Amino acid sequence: MSARASLPTTVKVLAAIAIAVVALPLVALVARAPWSDISRLGEPGPRTALLVSIEVSLAAAAVAFVFGVPVALVLARTSFRGHSVVRSLALLPLVLPPVVAGVGLLAAFGRRGLAGRGFAAIGIRLPFTTGGAILASAFVATPLLILTVEAGVRALDRRKEEAAETLGASKWYVLRRVTLPALAPSIVAGLVVAWARALGEFGATITFAGNFRGRTQTLPLAVFEAMQTDQGAAILMSLMLVALSLVALIALRGRFLAR
Amino acid sequence: MTLRANLRCAAGDFVVEAAIEADVGRPIALVGPNGAGKTTLVRALAGLAAIERGTVSLDGTTLDDPTTHVPARERSVGVVFQDRALFDRMTALENVAFGLRARGVRTNDARQRARELLHSMDVEHRAHAKPSQLSGGEAQRVAIARALAHEPKLLLLDEPLASLDVRARSDVRALLGKVLAGFGGVAIVVTHDPVDALTLADRVVVLERGRITQAGSVDEIRSAPHSLYAAELVGINLFTGRLEPIGDGAAELHVDGGTIIVSCPPDITASVDGVTALLRPADVVLYREQPSAASARNILAGTIRSIADDGQRARIRIDTSPPLVADVTPASVTRLALREGVIVWASFKAVEVRPQLPD
């Protein structure tokens, strides 16, 4: 904080503009919201979208955890030919346009897709189902968890794990009792970031899972639909998303905010 | 029970080649300057790093050979790591119980055993503290207890006292002495502190630049140290240089930083390179004024760099050319008002410097 005084004015002005641009839409949402209609959020449409959103985003975060933590461990702890290619692949969804991710998922898991045919044969259908919405959200959200946890793994003190090894602990026991507990802060941060990303997912979801009320219509899709007919409802639902996002920020408080 | 290791191992570009044999009840001190490869060797013995060549066996069981590598988790080994490496999310008790829990001992039995160990280490009252709440000495006791809990056949202690302050160091050293005396396996203590080496171990193995330069009892090393490091360790002045006979049974020894007069072996008539000569610190006499008529042929002036007093004798380092170590009585220190920074004259007789010719 001692650097406060030494910053050029231009830098401070640019920073102030950036913050204002972030704050203004929030203020506008609150100002333009039809507050007298707030009870309409309890109607089946918005309520269902909220429930679908919560279900899909939490499930996507869980999927990100189950697969993202192993990927982070492998990326941080192993070296092999093609390591950088694998790492690029794992993080690709970060830079891929979500709609492209959706098209790709259709090509892979659609009814006539590469893997989709096999899934269909054993009775698993992903496109245009809640499971598909979860897959689409997890697809775009997992790299965020991978990045966070990978940095955590690299910062670990390996000697703790070596100490556990000399004490006779199996690989699983070391992972369970030493590595994962030490990673807990990174994993929590990664989960929150991945969950927030899944909550806002739009492009991949609508492309791969469609926009079916009660099954795949999450809040962002409902907001988009309402914008065509009922701006007031769209704004109210947007504020609901803002409230949920704030939960994520508060959960991360002390990790990113309190620095 | 014996540990036999004859191996080559590497950490990056750095290669260690060493042969070590250690028996139960006879702790070994592995000493050497920083970067000599002590930790690399310990990691190899612990099974944390694979060896490149050679064999390691413990109690008749092969741990490493060209076709075998028993990983650390399957060795009966306890390691006290340089910075302790305690599990910081567990209590002291859980740390000590870890090795038993990992081997499938039931929680209550493991905790009971851990409690007994903490008791024998005088830290039972800290059983429920996290490592971050422990003092250095307490944490070190916990680390030692943790390494002993599963009753390993091989105990490796990597600089177990280096991170402690002076007071804690002598306490833990005394405790460690007791532990090692009662330990039923093979113990190796890594240290760069001569006091640790001389008080904790029966035998000393000197490792320098990845090679063992000497191994033996302290007395053996004191009577014939192979390197400057070993000489320093056991407190002997060691000079290496070119020997130049000057007649009358004397010779000049030209070393880095100066020339001293030494006794000349009778069969030497021409100059010889690479001669090592020893001078016991007790044979160096100190004066506050330049002595005028001394029989000693070596009189060197220098400033006192350090004085280490252990109650029986004071070891004084002087920056003469070449530098000298002198042992005097604490009474002499008082009488001559010796202290750091004081200029003294050190003298010793040529006959007391014994040259050893290269093989």
> Do B294 and B201 belong together in one domain?
no
Cβ neighbors of B101 (< 8 A, separation 6 or more) are B107, B110
Whether residue B91 is predicted with pLDDT greater than 90 in this model: the reply is yes
> Do B171 and B155 belong together in one domain?
yes
Q: Which residue has the higher pLDDT, A3 or A198?
A: A198
A130-154 mean pLDDT: 97
> Do B321 and B278 belong together in one domain?
yes
Q: How far is A175 from chain B (nearest CA, A)?
A: 12
Most confident stretch, B133-137, B166-170, B270-274: B133-137
Q: What is the rounded distance in angstroms from the CA atom of residue B342 to the CA atom of residue A155?
A: 49
Neighbours of B173 (CB within 10 A): 17
| Residue B96 Cα distances to B3, B130, B171, angstroms | 25, 12, 20
**What CATH number does residue A67 fall under?**
1.10.3720.10
Helix (H, G, I), strand (E, B) or coil at A246: helix
pLDDT at B62: 95
Tell me which residue of B241, B283, B245 sits closest to B264, measured CA to CA: B245
Indicate the residue of B73, B87, B88 with minimum beta-carbon distance to A168: B73
> Do B22 and B91 belong together in one domain?
yes
State the best of A167, A177, A179 to mutate against chain B, taking most chain B CBs within 10 Å: A167
- Let me know if residue A26 belongs to a domain: no
Indicate the residue of B77, B83, B87 with minimum beta-carbon distance to A166: B77
Q: Which residue has the higher pLDDT, B85 or B293?
A: B85
pLDDT at B358: 59
Domain range for A243 is 40-251
Whether residue B5 is predicted with pLDDT greater than 60 in this model: the reply is yes
B129-154 mean pLDDT: 96
Whether residue B290 is predicted with pLDDT greater than 70 in this model: the reply is yes
B158 and B187 Cβ atoms separated by less than 8 Å = no
> What confidence tier does A259 reach under pLDDT thresholds 50, 70, 90?
very low
Interchain pair B85, A162: CB under 8 A: yes
B63 and B47 Cβ atoms separated by less than 8 Å = yes
Tokens standing for A197? 């990303």
Domain end residue (candidates: B230, B262, B297): B230
Average pLDDT, chain B: 90
Instruction: Return the HEC string of chain B.
Output: CEEEEEEEEEECCEEEEEEEEEECCCCEEEECCCCCCHHHHHHHHHCCCCCCEEEEEECCEEEEECCEECCHHHCCEEEEECCECCCCCCCHHHHHHHHHHHCCCCHHHHHHHHHHHHHHCCCHHHCCCCHHHCCHHHHHHHHHHHHHCCCCCEEEEECCCCCCCHHHHHHHHHHHHHHHHCCCCEEEEEECCHHHHHHHCCEEEEEECCEEEEEEEHHHHHHCCCCHHHHHHHCCEEEEEEEEEEECCEEEEEECCEEEEEECCCCCCCCEEEEEEEECHHHCEEECCCCCCCCCCEEEEEEEEEEEECCCCEEEEECCCCCEEEEECHHHHHHCCCCCCCEEEEEECHHHCEEECCC
**Poorest-confidence range of A61-75, A187-201, B34-48, B264-278?**
B264-278
Interchain pair B72, A182: CB under 8 A: no
B64-79 mean pLDDT: 94
> Do B224 and B297 belong together in one domain?
no
> What confidence tier does A254 reach under pLDDT thresholds 50, 70, 90?
low
- Let me know if residue A31 belongs to a domain: no
pLDDT digits (tens, 9 = 90+) for B7-49: 999 988 899 999 999 999 999 999 998 889 999 999 999 999 9
Q: What is the rounded distance in angstroms from the CA atom of residue A257 to the CA atom of residue B16?
A: 48
**What CATH number does residue B191 fall under?**
3.40.50.300
pLDDT at A257: 46
B66-83 mean pLDDT: 94
pLDDT at B219: 73
Tell me which residue of B5, B75, B26 sits closest to B184, measured CA to CA: B26
Q: How far is A173 from chain B (nearest CA, A)?
A: 7
Tell me which residue of B212, B227, B192 sits closest to B17, measured CA to CA: B212
pLDDT at B280: 84
> Do B135 and B221 belong together in one domain?
yes
Interchain pair B150, A163: CB under 8 A: no
Show residues of chain A in contact with B74, CB under 8 Å: 168
The residue type at A156: L
- Let me know if residue A124 belongs to a domain: yes
Cβ–Cβ contact B94 with A under 8 A = no
Tokens standing for B47? 């099974």
Closest-CA residue of chain A to B46: A166
State the best of A159, A160, A166, A180 to mutate against chain B, taking most chain B CBs within 10 Å: A166
> Do B254 and B105 belong together in one domain?
no
> What confidence tier does A5 reach under pLDDT thresholds 50, 70, 90?
low
Neighbours of B220 (CB within 10 A): 14
Whether residue A78 is predicted with pLDDT greater than 80 in this model: the reply is yes
> Do B203 and B126 belong together in one domain?
yes
Show residues of chain B in contact with A156, CB under 8 Å: none
Domain range for B194 is 2-230
> What confidence tier does A255 reach under pLDDT thresholds 50, 70, 90?
low
pLDDT at A45: 87
B235-252 mean pLDDT: 85
B290-314 mean pLDDT: 83
Cβ–Cβ contact B78 with A under 8 A = yes
> Do B248 and B148 belong together in one domain?
no
Whether residue B359 is predicted with pLDDT greater than 70 in this model: the reply is no
In degrees to the nearest 10, what's the CA dihedral of B95, B100, B101, B106? -130
The residue type at B39: T
Interchain pair B102, A167: CB under 8 A: yes
- Edge-to-edge strand list for the sheet holding B250-255: B258-263, B250-255, B237-247, B272-279, B354-356
Q: What is the rounded distance in angstroms from the CA atom of residue B68 to the CA atom of residue B50?
A: 10
Indicate the residue of A160, A166, A171 with minimum beta-carbon distance to B87: A160
> Do B256 and B202 belong together in one domain?
no
- Let me know if residue A20 belongs to a domain: no
Domain count, chain A: 1
Q: Is B15 exposed, middle or buried (0-12, 13-18, 19+ CB in 10 A)?
A: middle
**What CATH number does residue B336 fall under?**
2.40.50.100
Interchain pair A168, B89: CB under 8 A: no
Whether residue B161 is predicted with pLDDT greater than 80 in this model: the reply is yes
Q: What is the rounded distance in angstroms from the CA atom of residue B201 to the CA atom of residue B195?
A: 10
- Let me know if residue A105 belongs to a domain: yes
Tell me which residue of B338, B272, B274, B255 sits closest to B303, measured CA to CA: B338
Average pLDDT, chain A: 92
B351-358 mean pLDDT: 77
> What confidence tier does B256 reach under pLDDT thresholds 50, 70, 90?
confident
Domain end residue (candidates: B215, B230, B245): B230
Most confident stretch, A29-43, A227-241, B138-152, B161-175: B138-152
Whether residue A162 is predicted with pLDDT greater than 70 in this model: the reply is yes
pLDDT digits (tens, 9 = 90+) for A79-102: 999 999 999 999 999 999 999 999
> What confidence tier does B184 reach under pLDDT thresholds 50, 70, 90?
very high
Tell me which residue of A182, A78, A74, A177 sits closest to B73, measured CA to CA: A177
Domain count, chain B: 2
pLDDT at B357: 67
Percent of chain A with pLDDT over 70: 95
* Size of chain A, expressed as the number of residues it contains: 259
Cβ–Cβ contact B79 with A under 8 A = yes
Percent of chain B with pLDDT over 90: 59
| Residue B58 Cα distances to A169, B67, B120, B227, angstroms | 20, 16, 27, 30
A155-175 mean pLDDT: 96
> Do B311 and B219 belong together in one domain?
no
> Do B12 and B77 belong together in one domain?
yes
- Let me know if residue A35 belongs to a domain: no
Domain end residue (candidates: B199, B230, B261): B230
> What confidence tier does B231 reach under pLDDT thresholds 50, 70, 90?
confident
Tell me which residue of B179, B152, B182, B192 sits closest to B39, measured CA to CA: B192
pLDDT at B221: 83
Whether residue A4 is predicted with pLDDT greater than 80 in this model: the reply is no
Q: Which of residues 146-185 of A touch B (CB under 8 A)?
A: 157, 159-160, 162-171, 173, 177-178, 181-182
Question: Taking each helix axis from N to C terminus, what angle separates A44-77 and A231-251, rounded to the nearest 10 degrees?
Answer: 40
pLDDT at A1: 47
B143-162 mean pLDDT: 96
